[in-house]
Structure 1
Amino acid sequence: MTQELYQKAMLFAGEKHSDQKVPGTNSNYLLHISNVAMEIMIAYSNDKNFDLNFAIQTAILHDTIEDTSTNYNEIKDLFGEPIAKAVKALTKDSSIEYKEDRMKDSLNRINELQKEVGIVKIADRITNLQTPPAHWEKEKIIKYCEEAKLILKNLSDKNDYLIKRLQLKIQEYEIKINYS
């Protein structure tokens, strides 16, 4: 992995997410992005059977279309079409009415692309399965956990190390649900 690719993607994401916070915290959104990238790097150190440059750039940019004013063509022009397609697949389609259907649609699009895209989705959910924000209702927390299980089921062939991490995070999250 080259530092230049990492730095270019991180600068872009940092500028795009500059006013965004990690939900339920006062932390800048780059914390989430760097945690997803860290999951990818550690997964790579356990199994080098994927394109690290592609996966890291996708990880850093994964929320830019969904959460900022960034569009597909902007990603394509700066990072290339494969990265743009990956980020678009990781972006839930807001025109789909039901949240569960949006996730299923995104997972279907992820599975049509390189395995690195699925690896990023798994790493993203691992990172997001922290203690839920205090303002979340128990029903939302349960649905979020169920969504994690859907991701696990649909992307189970992408990376053994990350699948085991996701399974563990789901178990830990379920314990948090039962104590809240």
Structure 2
Amino acid sequence: MPTPNPADGMVLDALLFATEQHDGQVRRGTDLPYITHPIAVSYIVAQFKRSRHLPELVTAAILHDVLEDTETSFADLAARFTPLVASLVQELTSDAAEIARVGKLEYLKSKMTGMSSYGLVIKLADRLHNISDRPTRKMVADTLEIIAYIQKARRLTAAQQHLAERIIAACGNVEHLTATQG
């Protein structure tokens, strides 16, 4: 029988915690519980990223919206999980005042260009799931602009480049569907 991995407990704890924190929230444009989104993002991270820190990355992916969308604090995350998980979730949390100042598109381009390597993997996984889930034409156009910008502005790891390519393909599929439907 294999020895239990403490990291498995952290991922399960994150799933239970995020489910509790997002209770009552639904995904925009669907009637699905919001928790389905962070779970999907965590699966995408696990699919594309290889790292000795994968349990922390999957945990942060599950928790990526709790600071932004719930009453959870950074201190809560750091105490319950690890400083790395809390730092990644903090890094993935949007600054509403800065978005209001510069606009969401410019904010995301700048933020994603300066993110840590781990943070960018999670953010790209988040974008891939968002673009695959009933995106608007504006979201598709903005996503393509963001990806083109970060591909020029920073060196991408293999995992990040694969995610970027998958995002571009998903945008193309959305544009094709909307062109044939309307």
Give the TM-score range, shorter chain.
0.7 to 0.9
Structure 2: any 5+ residue segments left out of the alignment? none
Structure 1 stretches of 4+ moved >4 Å: none
The structure with the largest alpha-carbon Rg is 2
Which of 25, 30, 46 pairs up with 2:30? Answer: 25
1:105–1:163 CA distance, 2 compared to 1 (3 A): closer
1:55–1:151 CA distance, 2 compared to 1 (3 A): farther
In the other structure, the counterpart of 2:112 is 107
1:4–1:165 CA distance, 2 compared to 1 (3 A): same
SS of alignment partner, residue 122 of structure 1:
helix
Amino acid at match of 1:69: E
1:147–1:58 CA distance, 2 compared to 1 (3 A): farther
Task: Answer whether contact 2:10 2:81 (CA < 8 A) is retained.
Answer: no
Task: Answer whether contact 1:64 1:70 (CA < 8 A) is retained.
Answer: yes
In the other structure, the counterpart of 1:172 is 173
Counterparts of 1:17-166 in structure 2, within 5 Å, are: 17-44=22-49, 48-49=50-51, 51-96=53-98, 97=100, 98-110=103-115, 113=116, 115-132=117-134, 141-153=136-148, 154=150, 157-158=156-157, 159=159, 160-166=161-167
Deviation of 1:95 after TM superposition, in Å, equals 0.8
Higher relative CO (CA 8 A, sep ≥ 6), structure 1 or 2? 1
Deviation of 1:150 after TM superposition, in Å, equals 4.0
Deviation of 1:92 after TM superposition, in Å, equals 1.1
Query: Could you tell me the TM-score, scaled by structure 2's length?
Result: 0.80
Query: Could you tell me the TM-score, scaled by structure 1's length?
Result: 0.81
SS of alignment partner, residue 38 of structure 1:
helix
Aligned residues: 167
Q: Considering only aligned residues, what root-mean-square deviation do their CA atoms show, in Å? A: 2.2
Task: Answer whether contact 1:43 1:162 (CA < 8 A) is retained.
Answer: yes
Task: Answer whether contact 2:68 2:93 (CA < 8 A) is retained.
Answer: yes
In the other structure, the counterpart of 1:138 is none
State the alpha-carbon separation in 2 of the partners of residues 102 and 173 from structure 1.
24
Deviation of 1:21 after TM superposition, in Å, equals 0.7
Deviation of 1:50 after TM superposition, in Å, equals 6.0
Deviation of 1:59 after TM superposition, in Å, equals 0.5
